[in-house]
Amino acid sequence: MRNVFSYALPYKWVAVWAFLFMLLELCVDLVQPIIMARIIDHGILQQNMDALQQWGIVLLALSFAGLLFGILNSYFSAHAAQSFSFELRNALFEKIQRFTMTTYTKFPASSLITRLTSDVTQVQNVFFMSLRIMLRAPLYVVGSMIMMLIINAKLALYFFIVTPFALVFLYVVVKKGARYFGQVQSRLDRLNRVLQESLQAIRLVKAYLRGHYEASRFEEIAGALKFDTMKALRLMEILLPVLWLLLNGALLAVVWFGAAQIEAGNTQVGELVAIINYATRMTAMFSMFAFIISAFARAQASAKRMEEVLLIEEGMEMHESDVEQKLQPVSLRFDNVSFRYSESTASVLHNVSFSVAAGEKVAIIGATGSGKTTLLSLIPQFHEATSGTVYVNDIPVEQWSRHALRAHMGLVLQQSILFTGSIAHNIRWGKKDATDEEVIAAATRAQIHTSIAAFEHGYETRVGQKGVNLSGGQKQRIAIARALIRQPKLLILDDSTSALDVKTELALWDALDEAQMTMLVVTQKIATAMRMDKIIVMEGGRIQHIGTHDELVETSPLYQQIYASQQQGGIAQ
């Protein structure tokens, strides 16, 4: 937990003030039973109204002081805890942003979301309670013991006998509870993952009438979470009754023997009342330990999960300063490149070699699973080749800084990802300082300007979650505009025009033909491939043939098969 709580250091002085006000509030609480003893012994029993009035005013003043100190402690504690969680959440998010794709795939997205939300909240609550309650409880117990010894050591000893047993029991519960709550957080990860998958695929769920199946799957996982949570909470619930049994037994002993001492004239009534007051408050504080330990156990489990993210050193991308894009298009070369994912034993790419000249437009075509998307992911260093070398401008990609490398590129993925915000915001996402004129120019080249202008609010039209209020073709063209606004020297389109009609796609390619940039286009359409300078045909992670459309029609059986199937379907134009 040390690494996690290091993010509270910038707010240490705020925490110090909270701690000081907590100590002052504690001192007031510790003094109050003695004042009450004075009121009983010197005021009520002796029927001394002056003493009663004098000590009553002191008790009232202390109560107001305790109220003030409590309010100030709560303010500074909340300020420190909220600021700490802000720093921690930002640090986690920044660390995740620096993950390489290989590192990122080791964590389910739902698990990362849980760590940034639920886990941060757990440690934030513990930090707040540490300043407000958690430290106050043990300090109050120690302070009460000291005050009880000062007032009447003999009576205090009856209560102290059970204290070691209570502390040992607390330690055992804490150790076991931390393990149980770790299991609970893991279950919560899985619940979030299933929930995320189901909500993302809501249209598919409805179309296939799988609502009952998804509900039963969610119920099963939620049931497992309930079971583990109940197991952890049952352990915590055992704590309170056992503590009450031990401490109330000791309190009865104090009352019994205290009454005997009063009868013998060895103890004043006020002293016994003060001892009972301290003992009662200590019992309440021990009872509060059940709540504190439960929160601490959960926070300990959450802190370990966050440290898994914070302590990762390998597989990280370094922050780099902005770089100027070079004016010339980019050249590419793959030299005997093979690749397999770290968690797999089978290679996805096998000895891939080809070159793309600067300004050349190349189509990549092949069946699903042939390795097209994986091949593209090696260029911006989302993954590193298992063997062989990828060259950009005759420089191995490993020698490029990722920032400088990616600054040359515009990338449009198979799935068009849009962010909540306006259409202009989504296009400008590719270039944060783009002017309105640049936004319109990029949209025009992407063949989406006319559609945007027809919306009631134009470029300020709000995009729903994942672009739900836009058609597939509109989302694809906005994503292409986002790439074009970067004025990339290498444009990568990963099957990014599948939802466009023939007329719109032809207009898009006409606009892109005028651009001075290198293009890699993954496509399933022969009509699109025919427009490119050359075509790469892939199968089973290998390059089968490279050539122009006319050459491949003559030499590549696989390309001939694709071409014939699309001619029969009326696709190839």
Question: Residues 151-165: what's their mean pLDDT?
Answer: 74
Place of tokens 């070159």: 355
CATH number at residue 399: 3.40.50.300
Q: Does the pLDDT value for residue 439 go beyond 80?
A: yes
Say if 406 falls within a structural domain. yes
- Region label for 541, one of left (φ > 0), alpha (ψ between -120 and 50) or beta (otherwise): left
Contact 353, 542 (CB under 8 A): no
pLDDT tens sequence across 188-198: 777 877 887 77
Question: Residues 478-496: what's their mean pLDDT?
Answer: 90
Question: Residues 170-187: what's their mean pLDDT?
Answer: 74
In this structure, the answer to whether residues 284 and 376 fall within a common structural domain is no
Contact 91, 29 (CB under 8 A): no
Say if 147 falls within a structural domain. yes
pLDDT at 321 (0 to 100): 44
In this structure, the answer to whether residues 252 and 339 fall within a common structural domain is no
In this structure, the answer to whether residues 148 and 240 fall within a common structural domain is yes
Instruction: Give the count of domains, the chain.
Output: 2
pLDDT tens sequence across 505-562: 889 888 888 788 899 999 888 888 898 999 999 998 999 999 999 999 988 888 888 8
Total Cβ atoms within 10 A of residue 326: 12
CA atoms of 371 and 347, how far apart (whole Å): 10
Give the count of alpha carbons within 13 A of 159, CB side only: 33
Structural domain for 21, as ranges: 2-186+234-310
In this structure, the answer to whether residues 340 and 439 fall within a common structural domain is yes
Contact 251, 283 (CB under 8 A): yes
pLDDT tens sequence across 414-426: 888 888 889 999 8
Q: Does the pLDDT value for residue 437 go beyond 60?
A: yes
- By CB atoms closer than 10 A (0-12, 13-18, 19+), residue 394 is exposed
Last residue of a domain, one of 310, 343, 369: 310
Q: For the chain, what's the residue count?
A: 573
Q: Does the pLDDT value for residue 231 go beyond 50?
A: yes
The string of DSSP letters for 75-113 reads HHHHHHHHHHHHHHHHHHHHHHHTB-HHHHTTS-HHHHH
Q: Does the pLDDT value for residue 326 go beyond 60?
A: no
pLDDT tens sequence across 102-143: 777 777 777 788 888 888 888 898 888 888 877 777 777 778
In this structure, the answer to whether residues 267 and 365 fall within a common structural domain is no
pLDDT at 573 (0 to 100): 44
Contact 250, 165 (CB under 8 A): no
In this structure, the answer to whether residues 286 and 407 fall within a common structural domain is no
Question: Residues 309-317: what's their mean pLDDT?
Answer: 74
pLDDT tens sequence across 257-274: 777 777 776 777 777 777
Per-residue confidence band for 50, with pLDDT thresholds at 50, 70 and 90: confident
Q: What integer best gives the mean pLDDT of the chain?
A: 82
Say if 365 falls within a structural domain. yes
CA atoms of 566 and 568, how far apart (whole Å): 5
In this structure, the answer to whether residues 271 and 342 fall within a common structural domain is no
pLDDT at 407 (0 to 100): 84
Say if 213 falls within a structural domain. no
Distance from chain centroid for Cα 271: 54
- By CB atoms closer than 10 A (0-12, 13-18, 19+), residue 433 is exposed
Which tokens in the block code for residue 48? 């001394």
pLDDT at 322 (0 to 100): 44
Query: What's the maximum distance between 2 C-alpha atoms anywhere in the chain?
Result: 118
CATH number at residue 93: 1.20.1560.10
% pLDDT > 70, the chain:
91
Position with higher pLDDT, 202 vs 348: 348
Angle (CA) 542-545-549 rounded to 5° is: 140
What's the pTM value of the predicted model, to 2 decimals?
A: 0.68
